[in-house]
Amino acid sequence: MASGFVITQDTLSPTLSYLRGRLSPEQQQGFLLAWGRGVAVKAQRNAIAKGGRRLWRDLARSVNVRSVGPGGVEVFSDHVAAAQKQFGGVISAPGKGPGSHGARALTIPIKGSRAEGKLVGEFTAAGEKLFVLGKTDGNRGGILCATAPDGTAEMLFILLKRTRPQTPQPWFPDDKTIAEIGEHFAQKKLAAL
């Protein structure tokens, strides 16, 4: 499911409306596409600035721009976590239902561990043997660990059985920033006319 926003000529500022009157319909659509690409670049930079090793880079790569008929463009992300990161909400383990990966618990990387920004599958794909410390009943699970070089348990992920609320981490530009990007592109276009 895509998450994003649409830029249309119906919501233009006075400067952008003035520009619209000076351009042909083809030029207007070209301007909107350039504006959309500018907004997409800002969204990508915002995502990358969040850090981490994988998720935010994947979100940045997932940002696209497309025309939505005459007089509009859409800037969107089709990444599964795009809306969750932007707006927050409850996350839950997918369980054993149809289409799930069979996960029975949420795996939350421990901040400061080498698991930060990674998925459990990255460790298992590399051949690491992981094990659980602690109980795995109720909403609280145990801790998913690997064996450290000195033979001790290296704590990587906290396991949660049911759900966990996630606070929003907005990364799409807000309305004010989108308008500022449009004004910037409009000034450049008007100067070139």
| pLDDT tens digits along 128-138 | 888 888 765 55
Q: Are residues 56 and 34 in the same domain?
A: yes
Cβ atoms within 10 Å, residue 191: 7
45 in Cβ contact with 38 (< 8 Å):
no
Q: Are residues 80 and 115 in the same domain?
A: no
Q: Are residues 55 and 30 in the same domain?
A: yes
Q: Are residues 155 and 94 in the same domain?
A: yes
The Cα 157–Cα 134 span in angstroms is 12
E strand or H helix at 124: helix 120-125
The Cα 132–Cα 123 span in angstroms is 14
Least confident of 30-34, 81-85, 131-135, 136-140: 136-140
Cβ atoms within 10 Å, residue 8: 14
Q: Which residue has the higher pLDDT, 21 or 109?
A: 109
Q: Are residues 54 and 35 in the same domain?
A: yes
The pLDDT value given to residue 37? 94
The boundaries of the domain holding residue 47 are 3-85+168-192
Cβ atoms within 10 Å, residue 147: 13
The Cα 163–Cα 165 span in angstroms is 7
Angle at CA of residue 52, ends 78 and 94, nearest 5°? 55
Q: Which residue has the higher pLDDT, 106 or 92?
A: 106
Reading the block at residue 64, the tokens are 């696209």
The pLDDT value given to residue 2? 55
10 pLDDT band, cuts 50/70/90, is low
Q: Are residues 80 and 173 in the same domain?
A: yes
Pairing of strands 72-77, 63-67: antiparallel
Q: Are residues 43 and 114 in the same domain?
A: no
| Number of domains within the chain | 2
The Cα 61–Cα 102 span in angstroms is 27
Q: Are residues 52 and 118 in the same domain?
A: no
Which of 193, 176, 189, 172 has the alpha carbon at shortest distance from 74? 172
The pLDDT value given to residue 99? 41
Q: Are residues 10 and 77 in the same domain?
A: yes
The pTM score is 0.67
The Cα 61–Cα 108 span in angstroms is 23
Q: Are residues 144 and 185 in the same domain?
A: no
Q: Are residues 123 and 134 in the same domain?
A: yes
The pLDDT value given to residue 125? 85
The pLDDT value given to residue 137? 57
Cβ atoms within 10 Å, residue 141: 23
CA dihedral 101, 167, 50, 120 (to 10 degrees): -20
The Cα 143–Cα 133 span in angstroms is 5
Q: Are residues 25 and 75 in the same domain?
A: yes
